[in-house]
Structure 1
C-alpha cells in the first residue's frame, strides 16, 4: 500500500498567540534567577522533550491559555536587512550619553507595517555604552528601529503610558554583531520602563531590572552575562509585542502531518519507476 500524507504547518502554542514569545533563545536554557511573564522558547535537537516550567510566572490577569516554556526544533528567522541610504546623521558610531529619539532633524522612512504606511525613524548604531544615570529615551507614539552592530550596555526607556497610539512594538532593536565580537552582549540596566522588541541571534542577553521590560527578547542565551544578572525572582521580561507590529514577518513555519490525502495498493516488490501509485 502506498499512502500520501501532506505536511502542514503546526506551530506550538508560543507561535499561535497574537504576541511574540517573551524569550526565545537558541542555546541552552534560560539561566539565572529571572522569571518571565510570557512564553519561553528554547531551541533543541529533540523538540519532543519537555523543559522546566519554573521560569514562567503567570501575569494578572492571566492569558486565556497559560504561558509555557517550550522546546522547538526550528531556528531563528533571518534578521531584517540593514537599510541603505539613511542620512549620515542616522549612522551613529557610538551612543554614550543621554539622548532622546527621534531627534530634531532626523528623517523618517515610510514603511508598510500590517498593511499600513507608517513613518519609522531608523538608525544604524555601532555600540551603545551608557554610564549609570544616562539613558536613551524614545518619544512615545513614535516608531524607532535601531540596527546595532556591536554591544548594548545601559538604560533604555520607552514608556507608552498615556499615549493611545503607542505600542511596545514601536521600538525595535535588531543586532547582527556586524563588528565581529567574540562574545556580543546586550545588558539592559536600570528600572525605567522599556517596551520593545529585541532580536539579536548571536548575543547573550540580560536585564538587571524587575518587571520593567515589556515586550520580547530573542537571542543566543539568557543569564550568562556575569555582571548583568537579574535579582532572584525578578520578572525579566513581560510578553507584550504583537507579530503584526514588526517591520518584517518573523513568524517561523512549522511542519506537521495532515490527513491522508490518497492511497492505493500495489505489490510490495513493485519497481518505483513503474509504480501505478504516483
Structure 2
C-alpha cells in the first residue's frame, strides 16, 4: 500500500494501463486443511498469475477460518503483492458506524487493502468510516453473482418499483466523495452489469462470476466498460486455480480475452 493523492478510480486506471490487464486473481483457498496449506496454494497462484493481473483479491473467510495463523497469512500475502498491483480484500463488511470504523482500521490500516467489498444496507452512516482514506476503494455489493441474488437484490423496492440493486447504486453514488465507491456486479447477470454502468457511468466495477460460476466474460466486460474503455476489474478464482491448462496459461488467456473485448469497442 502506497500513500497517494489520487482517487481510487484514478489509481485503478493507472494500474490497468501499467499492467495491461483488467483481470483480478481471486484467492479462495477452499478445502485447505490448515493455514499453511492455504498459503502454499496462494503463493503458487501468485507466482503463476501475477504478471497477467492488475489486482489480487483474497476472500477473507478462507483465511479467518484458521484464526491467528490465517490472519498471519493475510499479512504475508499483503507483502507479496507489489505496489503496481491492487490488493482487494473481499469480506463484504457492513455494520453500525462504530463497528465499521474498526473494520476500516483492520482492512485498510492493518492489512493494507487498496480496496474492500462492503454491504451498504445499513445506510449512509455505516458507509462513512470506509470513505475517509484517500486513494482507497470501496466496492458496494449491488447485484451479486450467486443464484440467490435474485431473491432480494432484483426484487422491486420502494415506491418507484425499481430493483433493490439499482436503488443501492443510486444511493451509494450520492455518498461518494469522488472516485472512491465502486460496485460488485456478477458477471452471471450481464444485463444488471449494463444497468449499473448506466446508473454509475464513472464508477469502478468489480465483476465476479466468470469461470466456475458460468458467467460470460465477453458479455460482462462489454457491459461493464466505461466511456474510456476501462473502469472494470474481472475477478477469476477457480477458473485460474483449477484450470487444466495450468494457472499461468489460464490467467494469460483470461487477460487476452478481456483485452480483445476492449479492442473491439
Query: Normalising by the residue count of structure 1, what TM-score does the alignment of the two structures yield?
Result: 0.30
Higher relative contact order (CA 8 A, sep 6+): 1
Larger Rg: 1
Query: Which structure features the higher share of helix residues?
Result: 2
Q: Determine which structure has the larger strand proportion and give its number.
A: 1
TM-score normalised according to structure 2 size: 0.31
